[in-house]
Chains A and B, each alone.
Chain A
Amino acid sequence: MRATIDPQKDYYQVLGVTQDASIEEIKAAFRALARRYHPDSATGDAEQFRLVQEAYDVLRDPAQRLAYDRQRASLGLSSDAPLQIKSWVSASVLPALESEQLLYVMAEISPKSAQGTGEQPLNLALVIDRSTSMRGTRMENVKLAIHEFIDALKPEDRLAVIAFSDRAEVIVPSVRGTEKRRLHAAISRLVPSGGTEIYQGLMTALEEVRRYVGGRYVSHVILMTDGRTYGDEELSLIEAKRAAAQGIGISALGIGEDWNDLFLDALAQAGHGLSQYISAPSQLQRLLQQHLRGLSSVIARNLDLFVKPAEGMVLRSIYRVRPHIGPLPLPEGGAIALGHLSDESIGVLLELVVQPEPPLGEHRILRFEVEALCGNDLKRTRLRHDVKVTFTTGEVPPQEVPARLLNTLARWSVYRLQEKAWHFLEKGDTREATTLLQSAATRLFDMGQRELARVAMLEADRIDQQGAPSSRGRKQLRYGTRSLAISPADDKLRS
């Protein structure tokens, strides 16, 4: 008899075996369970017995089992994905209102187990700004950090080094991690001169990385600059998007105060990487090392997130909140590219507007789907996660907002305040910008972030009196608020 396959049921779980269980294990599990649930036995359960039989009928037959596994995988129900999705809502029971109401939903995508897939080989390029402004200790600090970076490379990694000013130069073409002496020597010889033209440097670096892109390599370009580029921003962004489509990530590190933060943010976002502010020399070493670790511990690549609100739910905003806070484009039916997942989880926060008079009872309000390339064979894997809440006309019980969500919201709302302030400033509304920064200062103070609160207060005064913030203060706030760390301890505070 041919069994019917129902991919919605987890047959492996029914039999209590893992997905890679051998046929002997499956047989043994079936015999034990059949004995327990057989209707004639004292512990009999006809319903359960039937289910055990159905599971066994499918899993005992290799062809059926394969078909079942494929169906599950295509539905995102497969349990062998190395990642998982968890979610939090600001309230799980909501009043059925005659007007709109707001619900916050946070989702986190994280590796399922701590071990990961082992170290991934890297295919990297460092793009170094060698313009005149880098002269002196700044360049020496960069060199020092890069020397350490080179030392940490594994033999199977690849690294190219590109220096740029008005034009770009390949200092070392893409070589293996075994050629450390050659890399060190080239870095030592680097002398600053000329202006800053990022596009040339970026293009040259991408050329080097493209030579080895593919296979198991994690390909990435790290740009370090201390200045502004003029007129080639648009071209650079187009190039970054093209690179991202080929699986090459781009990160941007801004050194000092004079670089264009909006441009580097956009570049890193287009390149699915990170943009960061380096205010002290020691930070550069730490960040480069962090980058190296993060890239080699990648467990899933090119994550695409699909957000599907149910009928009657409208997505108002979506932000990345982990590891750093930042805006994401509204998906409008398409995928949101989240880059690679390393051992650090990726979090997104959504504002969902519940339309008036929602249907009563428990309902799915949102579905998350993640597609990613997983494992050493880069298998395309799908994962699904539903978010449900209950609507009632009765009394809504007092509910605690989950601590992790609440703490994230507090930080996200401060980040938004200061971003809004810059937005108003751009439009010439110094009054509104001042008020927003003052509010941000108060919130930061409440959170115990006294240093950032002080900066916000100072910049609010500057804008109020001179109409413009300091370049340093603005960067401290923008990069400080986006990376307000959410420590694991935050989760325990309220328990």
Chain B
Amino acid sequence: MSQQSPSTLSVGQKKEVSQDAQTFAQKALARAAGCESVEVGEVVDVRPDVVLSHDNTAAIREIWQQFGQELVVIPERLAITLDHAVPPPTTRHAQNHAEIRSFVQEQGIRHFFEVGRGICHQVLSEEALVLPGQTILGADSHTPHFGWLGAFGAGIGRSEVAALWATGELWLRVPESIRIVLEGELPKGVTAKDFALRIIGDWGADGGLYTSVEFSGSGIGVLSIDSRMALANMMAEFGAKSAYVPPDGKTRSYLEAGLERRAAREKDGGTAEEASPSVAESQLFPDDGAAYLATYRYSAFELEPTVSCPHTVDNVSPLSAVAGTAVQQAFIGTCTNGRLEDIAEAAEIVEGRQVAAGTRLLVIPASSLVLQEAMNRGYIQALVAAGAAIGTPGCGPCMGNHMGVPATGEVTISSANRNFRGRMGTTDAEIYLASPAVVAASAVAGRIADPRDVM
């Protein structure tokens, strides 16, 4: 835990709490369970709108085969992305992908995304496969990501996904909720990632354990969609079951563009309309006076660039405390921070400069759309000119499969979400987590550096 003290804290403002007022999590799970309302702590059987899996789909299929079914009962609700080790680094990985493709074919899965399309959370967001108020359960711990659009997203295990394929439903306990309020606008050089790291540093990696983390406040409304995604995504490292950002006009226009993309993709294969209720109709908002375990309030102007030090995400320090630490590798990418805004910031910082000798900069866009747009705007050209290596959209070295595994004793500064020992594939290597701006500034300096000094 960091030494910083939280800005202000007010726990359980009892007088405002009303009996019937509901949190977002209660409303979303009541909808998913087909009930009028649900109580916190109640266990309900939910029918998720979308079930996510990725490179782990072949392993899930093996479990599912034990049920003796020929066809999964909810093919239209499955979304499968090849992203974790793409293109496959070994024959075994390639074999794994081949098994997944044959499963997709035999089951007639429409929402399947090939090698190079991008990371599951980003791709499903771009394709508007999940809408506000809906529930997505994913065989991936960063499924709280979908809180960016006001959906209930939770990570589950492989056996649970197999059970969903077989039955369409799964039990969930209705979680308690924590409210986090951000007021004001983030200063230049300070990002949603810094805010997320600050929250985790203040309250610990288990500070949000089992809870739905529900954001609100003027500071959330002014965040871009890319930043909202980074924030909700990082709540997995806070122990949260799900996250929630209230949908607004920005959310709706992003999703409407996605629905058009989805309709175009499905033109031959199916009917986008059937799965596309109006975005506005499905939105859910927590009631005033809903009961929260705690309310944490932050002022945006008090936040600063923040770094998470080896080997736990909650080992957080202000950037100034670790500035100067030499880095051999700088990595910008992942479902947390591989989006257009992130690459734009990095490009702005490296433009006209060179990556320091003795340091390598690796940039892996989170999706093919991000890569295309980053090329259109000249960001990729600027990064390559500065000496960056660009990878295929996907997870890259985030979990140590390939494409950027550090050597023993090396230090990486990364825009990812986890810095656990061995996370990037090497036991004795150090990982610092920071915003893409800090990573880019550090790549140029060859040591951990403050982006505000070069912006």
Chains A and B bind each other: no
